[in-house]
Chains A and B, each alone.
Chain A
Amino acid sequence: KAGVTQTPRYLIKTRGQQVTLSCSPISGHRSVSWYQQTPGQGLQFLFEYFSETQRNKGNFPGRFSGRQFSNSRSEMNVSTLELGDSALYLCASSLEWRGDTGELFFGEGSRLTVL
Chain B
Amino acid sequence: AQRVTQPEKLLSVFKGAPVELKCNYSYSGSPELFWYVQYSRQRLQLLLRHISRESIKGFTADLNKGETSFHLKKPFAQEEDSAMYYCALGGSNYKLTFGKGTLLTVNP
Q: Does A24 sit within 8 A of B, measured CB to CB? A: no
**From residue 5 to 41 of chain A, which have CB atoms closer than 8 A to chain B?**
31, 33, 35, 41
Q: Provided the pairs A102-B32, A106-B43, A108-B43 are in contact, do residues A43 and B95 lie with their beta carbons within 8 angstroms?
A: no
Q: How many residues of A contact B (CB 8 A)?
A: 26
Inter-chain contact A104/B46, CB cutoff 8 Å: yes
Inter-chain contact B96/A45, CB cutoff 8 Å: yes
**From residue 51 to 108 of chain A, which have CB atoms closer than 8 A to chain B?**
55-56, 58, 90, 92, 97-98, 101-108
Which bucket holds chain B's interface residue count?
Answer: 10 to 19
Pick the interface stretch among B15-23, B61-69, B70-78, B86-94: B86-94
Write out the residue numbers on chain A whose beta carbons fall within 8 Å of the beta carbon of B44.
Answer: 90, 92, 106
- CB nearest to A109 among chain B residues: B43
Interface of chain A, helix or strand or loop or mixed?
A: strand
C-alpha gap A60/B63 in the complex (Å):
30
Inter-chain contact A56/B95, CB cutoff 8 Å: yes
Q: Which residues of B contact A (CB under 8 A)?
A: 32, 34, 43-46, 49, 51, 86, 90, 93-101
